[in-house]
């Protein structure tokens, strides 16, 4: 069966991934169910440990298979599950980063307060992976606009596009209130998280795949940035939310340069003409 880019596929990701050719996707991003008994409408989020891990191993291996040699695999989850994912991915791909996304959650009793989600960043191959550095605006005082850091007295040498983003992300906030989530989806991610990941790992015209699309955040971010997307979602309610949002979204964000090819800084590059991805209809 042929797979088109720029579509949301309703169904089980393991089944649907089988239709995607080897080495055809630039970036896979996965935000799977956390097995924490979240209230999804079509998915039982409480598997046994063995079942959950065996299932995760299958789709992780599939994600590596479909990723191009220059591509990356990004997986978001709580640290506990990422330790198992890393053990699988270490066998099939190459570790680049563990991104700690600072996002406060609830005290769980006699533990340290969980204060970050992780995003595993693996590349398909050890060398030749697409990667663009990301900068974020220098922090300024809300009242007077002055820079908060003095950079060792070298403010005049500050980079005009901001500071280099590290592997600890504190500037992107979770969508806390269920009212702000589409269809009150229990785990919708903020779009800026996906935009940053996509800018970091792709060029305009590349193909981004999300096997757990939920309300469509990855696809919307890809479309906004002039990338192609393929999303898979099991639940028809979320699939419809994602498809409706995509139908009503327009590529390009106000005041946001769409990246192109000619500069090292994704936010200031110009768009180049894009040919449709070779592997897809």
Residues that bind ligand SAM (CB under 6 A): 12-13, 31-33, 40, 42-43, 185, 187-189, 211-212, 214-215, 217, 232-235, 238
The nearer residue to ligand SAM, 96 or 185, going by C-beta atoms, is: 185
The nearer residue to ligand SAM, 33 or 205, going by C-beta atoms, is: 33
The nearer residue to ligand SAM, 58 or 130, going by C-beta atoms, is: 58
Candidates 195, 204, 196, 202; CA nearest to 271 is: 204
Question: Residue 262 class from Cβ within 10 Å (0-12 exposed, 13-18 middle, 19+ buried)?
Answer: exposed
In whole angstroms, how close is the CB of 49 to ligand SAM at the nearest point? Answer: 17
In whole angstroms, how close is the CB of 249 to ligand SAM at the nearest point? Answer: 14
In whole angstroms, how close is the CB of 127 to ligand SAM at the nearest point? Answer: 30
The nearer residue to ligand SAM, 52 or 70, going by C-beta atoms, is: 52
The pair phi, psi for residue 223, each rounded to 5°, is: -65, -45
- Please list, in sequence order, all residues whose beta carbon lies within 8 angstroms of the beta carbon of residue 104, skipping any fewer than 6 positions away: 113, 115
The nearer residue to ligand SAM, 198 or 234, going by C-beta atoms, is: 234
The nearer residue to ligand SAM, 72 or 217, going by C-beta atoms, is: 217
In whole angstroms, how close is the CB of 80 to ligand SAM at the nearest point? Answer: 15
Q: Helix 79-92 and helix 49-66: axis angle, to 10°?
A: 50
Rounded to whole angstroms, the Cα distance separating 198 from 225 reads 8
Pairing of strands 67-77, 116-123: antiparallel
Structure letter (DSSP) for residue 143: T
In whole angstroms, how close is the CB of 213 to ligand SAM at the nearest point? Answer: 6
For residue 94, the cross-strand partners are 123
Write out the two tokens for 201.
């790992």
Rounded to whole angstroms, the Cα distance separating 260 from 154 reads 31
In whole angstroms, how close is the CB of 179 to ligand SAM at the nearest point? Answer: 15
Residue of this chain nearest to ligand SAM (CB atom) = 214
């Amino acid at each position: 069966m042929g797979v088109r880019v720029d579509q949301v596929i309703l169904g089980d990701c393991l089944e649907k991934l089988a239709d995607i050719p080897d080495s055809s996707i630039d970036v896979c991003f996965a935000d799977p169910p956390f097995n924490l008994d979240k209230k999804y409408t079509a998915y039982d989020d409480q598997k046994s440990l063995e079942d959950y891990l065996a299932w995760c191993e299958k789709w992780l291996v599939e994600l590596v298979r479909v990723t191009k040699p220059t591509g990356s695999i990004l997986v978001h989850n709580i640290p506990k599950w990422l330790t198992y994912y890393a053990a699988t991915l270490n066998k099939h791909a190459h570790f680049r980063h563990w991104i700690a996304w600072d996002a406060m959650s609830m005290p769980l009793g006699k533990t340290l307060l969980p204060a970050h989600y992780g995003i595993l960043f693996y590349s398909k191959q050890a060398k030749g992976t697409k990667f663009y550095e990301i900068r974020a605006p220098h922090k300024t005082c809300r009242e007077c606009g002055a820079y908060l850091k003095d950079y060792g007295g070298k403010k005049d040498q500050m980079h005009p596009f901001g500071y280099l983003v590290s592997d600890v992300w504190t500037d992107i906030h979770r969508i806390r209130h269920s009212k702000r989530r589409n269809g009150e989806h229990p785990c919708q991610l903020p779009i800026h998280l996906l935009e940053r990941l996509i800018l970091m790992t792709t060029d305009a015209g590349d193909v981004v795949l999300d096997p757990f699309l939920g309300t469509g955040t990855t696809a919307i971010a890809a479309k906004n940035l002039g990338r192609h997307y393929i999303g898979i979602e099991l639940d028809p309610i979320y699939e419809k939310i994602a498809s409706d949002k995509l139908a009503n979204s327009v590529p390009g964000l106000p005041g946001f340069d769409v990246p192109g090819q000619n500069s090292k800084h994704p936010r200031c590059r110009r768009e180049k003409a894009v040919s449709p991805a070779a592997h897809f209809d």
